Each structure stands twice: as structure tokens, then as C-alpha cells.
């Protein structure tokens, strides 16, 4: 037995979360309704966006944004290879072509110079992933999009509450997707929110999120037709969120500030405790951002060690510390092996990255223990 067990992630469910869900259960309405509307309003509040749509995942939100903009066959969407697989899946679902961009070595966000090289007359969207909770280089990406009819879709799954030059994630592009997956900064169990200032986009995404049913079509019929009539005006999806889940998300997002403060404290402590370990590098945090610290990612200096990343992870596990890797790059998955990828920084980073335990409930003792294990493994295996 190791002296301590530190899981990679742990949900921050408190008694008020439980009470909120129970109250919704007792209310008699558990599918999409007023709680989802509240969740949409909360995400508009934290992002500064005007309109929001609650759905059952960030994956659905990303897909709906692309469909809302009528992205399809013949179009290209540029996204970083260093992201979650579903970012590529949703592009392919629309019939468009995913084009994989490289990352900046220092902070692992999408590299605008790589994006610039990949832009073609077919480019319609750039997906700006706010990696680990650090907003992407938005000014540079905006400059590339400007005048070219290219939309910027923020993947803000890691970044609720993050700021870029004082503006919140979710207000930095043409639309943004947030995730409420269990390990994210705030959760509803499963869920996602699409936000945008573009009312037409959100209206269309809402229609497509519920089977392509028109909310308005049946209102055209007279009262004698009854309320049973609806019209499916376009082939849609079943992406709506339930009130039962949304109520948890609402209660959590109201604590976002406090939850992110705890993550920021944890990141600061990791940084300080690992500063002297020469085999381990922290990612840089650019001065114009406020980081949301969804992940605490370190890069191993493999040239200074006799072991590889997989062994490092194994040795941490033996000491009771669970870690992860964010991400296995898109083009490394069998499903996406046919996507062209000349991505030296992504491939180099992938060999070296480890995500250390990170959540709001991490204690100082947990962090000190994890840091001690990391330094010990680095020291014992240095070259």
C-alpha cells in the first residue's frame, strides 16, 4: 500500500448540489425545461455571450455550431491535433474536412503560424482550443480569420472563467462550446453549452438539437389543431439536456469562481514545489491570460532521464498517484490516421506530457505528496 492515494480527478459535489437535484426530482419536470434555461443564462453570464443553448455534451455543442453555420462537404475546419478526439469527429460528421494544426511548444495552445500555413480558400472555421484552461492566441487567430469569411469556434471545454486580455472565454470567438463532463471545472454529470452573440446561430442550433423540430411551426396552427402538432423541418439530432442534469450544472457554475480559485492555488503550489526538478518542465502561462487550470500538465525532460513517459506514469501509480495524458493527438488514433499531419511540436510534446491530479478538492498534503513522488522518480531515474 502506498502512503496516500491521489486520484486524477474528483467531482466537487456538495450538499447544495444534492439538494438542488432532489428539488428538481420533486418538481415533476425532469426533461428540458426551466433548469436548462437557467443553465444557459449562467453560461451567458460567465462568458459575456448573449445567447446560450444547453445540450448533452460539448461534443454536441461543437457539432451544432458547425451545422448552424452550414459547414459541410467541401469545407475545411482547422483544429489543433492536440485536443480531444470528438473535435475531429464532429467535423467529419458534417462532411467537412478536418485540417490538423500544430501547437506552440511553450504553452501547447494552437499555433497561429501553423494555422496560417493551412488556410485555403475552403477554410470556413478555426477551432480554438483553450488547452488546459489557457485561452488560445486569439488576437493572432482573429487576424487570420478577418476578411476571409472564417469563423472562430472556441472549444472552451477546459476554460470556464478563463480570461484573455480581460475578456472571458466564450466571448472571444464567433461561438464557444463549454463542457459539463464529470471531470471538468464544473459538471452536470454530462452536459454542454453552446454560447454566441449570434441569435440566428443559436436558434438554428436549438432546432437541430431537438430532432429538427420547429418550435414555431405548430404555433401557426389554430387552437383547434391543439398542441400536439409539430413539424420536423430538417433532419436533426437528439442533443437536448435534461433539467435533472442542468440543475446540478446551475448549482455548480454559481460556485465557479470559488472552484477556480482552488484550482489556481493548486497550480501555484505544484509550480513552486516542482520548480527545482530539472527533469520536469511546467507549461508557460502567457501574461495576457487568466488560466482556468482545468489541467496541470508537465513535460518531462526525457533527455535527462533513463525512463520514458509510460514508465514514469507507472511509477507514479505504484506510489498511489493517478495521472493522465492530454491528449493522444488526433492523428495517432486509428480512426483518424488518414488525416494528413505534419506536426513536429505536437508529436514531440505528446511523448513528454503528463497531467497531474487537478481538482478543486485537492489538499496541500495531496499536492505535496504528488510533487514529492514526481521529484523522487525524476531523481532516481536521472541520467
Ligand X SMILES: *Cc1c(COP(=O)(O)O)cnc(C)c1O
**Residue number, 180 or 373, with CB nearest to ligand X:** 180
Closest contact distance (angstroms) between CB of 47 and ligand X is: 16
243 sits near ligand X (criterion: CB under 6 A):
no
Minimum CB separation of residue 295 from ligand X in Å reads 9
Q: In this complex, which beta carbon is closest to ligand X, that of residue 64 or of residue 321?
A: 64
Q: DSSP characters for 66-117?
A: HHHTT--TT-EEEEESSS-THHHHHHHHTT-EEEEE-B-TTT-SB-HHHHHH
Does 184 participate in catalysis according to the annotation? yes
Choose which of 9, 20, 39, 87 interacts with ligand X (CB under 6 A): 87
Give whole-number Cα distances, 204 to 58, 67, 215, 235, 266, in Å. Answer: 17, 9, 11, 12, 40
Q: Smallest distance, Å, CB 45 to ligand X? A: 20
Q: Which of residues 117-136 bind ligand X (CB under 6 A)?
A: 129
C-alpha cell at 287: 501574461
Which residue, 9 or 87, has its beta carbon nearer to ligand X? 87
Using the minimum distance from each CB to ligand X, give the nearer residue, 54 or 236: 54
Residue 88: half-sphere exposure toward Cβ, Cα within 13 Å: 24
Residue 1 DSSP code: -
3-state secondary structure of 289: strand
DSSP for 23-41, please give it: HHHHHT--SSSHHHHHHHH
* Span near ligand X by CB under 6 A; candidates 29-37, 154-162, 238-246, 271-279: 154-162
Comparing CB distances to ligand X, the nearer of 84 and 369 is 84
| Residue 161 and residue 257 in contact, taking contact as beta carbons nearer than 8 Å | yes
Interaction pattern, residues 58-77, with ligand X; x per rule: CB under 6 A: xx------------------
The DSSP code sequence of 154-218 is EE-TT-TT-EETTEETTSSSSEEEEE-BTTSSS--BS-EEEEES-HHHHHHHHHHHBTTEETTGG
Asked if 155 interacts with ligand X (CB under 6 A), we say: yes
98 scored as a contact of ligand X (CB under 6 A): no
Q: Using alpha carbons only, give the angle 304, 307, 312 rounded to the nearest 5 degrees.
A: 110
**Judged by CB under 6 A, does residue 84 bind ligand X?**
yes
Catalytic, out of 151, 184, 238, 271? 184
When binding is defined by CB under 6 A, the residue of 86, 109, 114, 355 that contacts ligand X is 86
Q: Pick the stretch among 52-60, 215-223, 350-358, 372-380 that binds ligand X (CB under 6 A).
A: 52-60
Interacting positions 305-344 with ligand X (CB under 6 A)? none
Nearer to ligand X, 356 or 371 (CB): 356
Cβ distance to ligand X smaller for residue 181 or 237: 181
Q: Is 339 exposed, middle or buried (0-12, 13-18, 19+ CB in 10 A)?
A: middle
Report the residue from 181, 218, 221, 230 that binds ligand X according to the rule CB under 6 A: 181
For ligand X, how many residues bind (rule: CB under 6 A)?
14
Query: 16-19, long-range: CB within 8 Å, 24+ apart, which pairs?
Result: 16/251, 17/248, 17/251, 17/252
Stretch that binds ligand X, among 82-90, 145-153, 195-203, 241-249 (CB under 6 A): 82-90
252 binds ligand X per the rule CB under 6 A: no
Among 57, 346, 355, 360, binds ligand X (CB under 6 A): 57
Interface residue with ligand X among 68, 161, 192, 236 (CB under 6 A) is 192
List the strands of the sheet with 151-155, edge to edge: 51-55, 192-196, 175-179, 151-155, 123-129, 76-80, 97-101
Q: Does 179 bind ligand X (CB under 6 A)?
A: yes
Pairing of strands 151-155, 123-129: parallel
Report how far residue 308's alpha carbon sits from residue 301's, in angstroms, rounded to the nearest whole number: 10
Which residues form the interface with ligand X (CB under 6 A)? 57-59, 83-84, 86-87, 129, 155, 157-158, 179, 181, 192
Active-site residue numbers? 184
Amino acid at each position: 500500500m502506498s502512503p496516500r492515494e491521489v486520484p486524477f480527478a474528483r467531482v466537487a459535489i456538495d450538499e447544495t448540489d444534492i439538494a438542488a437535484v432532489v428539488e428538481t426530482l420533486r418538481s415533476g419536470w425532469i426533461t428540458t425545461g426551466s433548469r436548462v434555461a437557467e443553465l444557459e443564462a449562467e453560461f451567458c453570464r460567465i462568458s459575456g455571450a448573449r445567447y446560450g443553448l444547453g445540450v448533452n455534451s460539448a461534443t454536441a455543442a461543437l457539432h451544432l455550431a458547425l451545422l448552424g453555420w452550414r459547414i459541410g462537404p467541401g469545407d475545411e475546419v482547422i483544429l489543433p491535433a492536440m485536443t480531444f478526439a470528438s473535435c475531429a469527429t464532429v467535423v467529419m460528421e458534417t462532411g467537412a474536412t478536418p485540417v490538423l494544426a500544430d501547437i506552440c511548444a511553450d504553452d501547447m495552445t494552437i499555433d497561429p503560424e501553423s494555422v496560417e500555413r493551412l488556410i485555403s480558400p475552403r477554410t470556413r472555421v478555426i477551432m480554438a482550443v483553450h488547452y488546459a484552461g489557457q485561452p488560445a492566441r486569439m488576437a493572432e487567430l482573429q487576424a487570420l480569420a478577418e476578411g476571409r469569411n472564417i469563423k472562430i469556434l472556441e472549444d472552451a471545454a477546459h476554460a470556464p472563467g478563463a480570461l484573455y486580455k480581460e475578456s472571458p472565454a466564450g466571448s472571444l470567438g464567433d461561438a464557444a462550446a463549454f463542457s459539463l463532463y464529470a471531470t471538468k471545472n464544473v459538471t452536470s454529470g454530462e452536459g454542454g453549452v453552446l454560447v454566441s452573440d449570434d441569435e440566428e446561430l443559436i436558434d438554428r442550433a436549438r432546432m437541430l438539437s431537438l430532432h429538427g423540430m420547429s418550435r414555431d411551426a405548430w404555433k401557426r396552427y389554430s387552437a383547434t389543431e391543439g398542441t400536439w402538432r409539430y413539424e420536423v423541418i430538417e433532419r436533426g439530432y437528439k442533443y437536448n439536456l435534461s433539467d435533472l442534469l442542468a440543475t446540478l450544472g446551475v448549482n455548480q457554475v454559481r460556485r465557479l469562481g470559488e472552484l477556480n480559485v482552488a484550482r489556481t492555488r493548486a497550480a501555484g503550489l505544484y509550480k513552486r514545489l516542482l520548480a527545482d526538478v530539472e527533469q520536469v518542465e511546467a507549461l508557460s502561462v502567457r501574461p495576457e491570460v487568466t488560466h482556468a487550470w482545468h489541467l496541470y500538465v508537465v513535460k518531462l525532460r526525457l533527455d535527462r532521464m533513463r525512463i520514458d513517459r509510460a514508465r514514469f506514469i507507472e511509477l507514479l501509480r505504484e506510489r498511489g498517484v493517478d495521472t493522465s495524458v492530454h491528449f493522444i493527438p488526433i492523428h495517432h488514433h486509428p480512426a483518424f490516421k488518414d488525416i494528413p499531419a505534419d506536426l513536429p511540436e505536437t508529436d514531440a510534446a505528446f511523448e513528454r506530457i503528463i497531467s497531474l491530479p487537478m481538482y478543486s478538492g485537492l489538499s496541500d498534503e495531496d499536492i505535496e505528496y504528488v510533487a514529492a513522488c514526481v521529484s523522487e522518480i525524476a531523481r532516481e531515474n536521472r541520467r
